[in-house]
Structure 1
Amino acid sequence: MGRPRSGFGWGGVFCVVGHDQLRRREIAALHTDRRDGDWLTITGNGGATRLVPVHPILVPYLDLKVTGWYLPGRLERHRSADFVGKRISLRLGPDDAGHQLRLRYVTATYAATRDLRAVQELLGHADVSTTQTYVGVDED
Structure 2
Amino acid sequence: MNSNHSVPTTWQHDIDAWSVAMTGMRLSSETIGLRTAHIRRLARSSLAPTPWTLTSSELLDWTGRHDWKRETARAMRSSIRRFWAWGAQAGHTDVDVALALPGIRPEQPRPRPAAPDTVRTAVTNAEPRVALMLRLANELGMRRGEVSRVHPENDLVRDLVGWSLVAHGKGMHKRVLPLPESLADVLLRAPVGYLFPGPNGEHLSPHWVGTLVRRALGNGTTMHQLRHLCATELHNETHDLRLVQTVLGHASVATTQRYIAVDDSQMREAMLVRSHRWASEAKAT
Q: Is the 8 A contact 1:28 1:81 kept in 2?
A: yes
In 2, Cα distance between the equivalents of 1:20 and 1:55?
9
Task: Name the % identity.
Answer: 31
5 Å-filtered alignment, 1:42-53, equals: 42-53=167-178
Q: Which has the higher contact order (CA 8 A, sep 6+)?
A: 1
In 2, Cα distance between the equivalents of 1:14 and 1:135?
19
Structure 1 residues 25-34 or 36-45, which shifts more?
Answer: 36-45
5 Å-filtered alignment, 1:103-114, equals: 103-114=228-239
2:156 aligned residue (7, 11, 35): 35
Distance 1:15 1:57, change over 3 A: farther
Q: Is the 8 A contact 2:130 2:216 kept in 1?
A: no
Q: Is the 8 A contact 1:28 1:79 kept in 2?
A: yes
1:85 aligns with 2:205: no
Unmatched runs of 5 consecutive residues or more in structure 1: none
Question: 1:55, CA displacement in angstroms?
Answer: 2.3
1:24 aligns with 2:144: yes
AA matched with 2:174: T
Larger gyration radius, structure 1 or structure 2: 2
Structure 1 runs of 4+ aligned residues shifted over 4 Å read none
5 Å-filtered alignment, 1:1-140, equals: 9-32=129-152, 33-37=154-158, 38-135=163-260
In 1, Cα distance between the equivalents of 2:221 and 2:251?
26
Question: 1:66, CA displacement in angstroms?
Answer: 4.4
Distance 1:65 1:87, change over 3 A: same
AA matched with 1:62: L
AA matched with 2:197: P
Residue-pair matches, total:
133
In 1, Cα distance between the equivalents of 2:179 and 2:237?
18
The structure richer in helix per residue is 2
Question: 1:36, CA displacement in angstroms?
Answer: 1.1
Question: 1:67, CA displacement in angstroms?
Answer: 2.1
Q: CA RMSD in A?
A: 2.0
Unmatched runs of 5 consecutive residues or more in structure 2: 1-122, 263-285
Q: TM-score by structure 1 length?
A: 0.86
Q: TM-score by structure 2 length?
A: 0.44
Alpha-carbon deviations, 1:83-126, whole Å to 9, x = none?
10010011111511111111111000001001001110010001
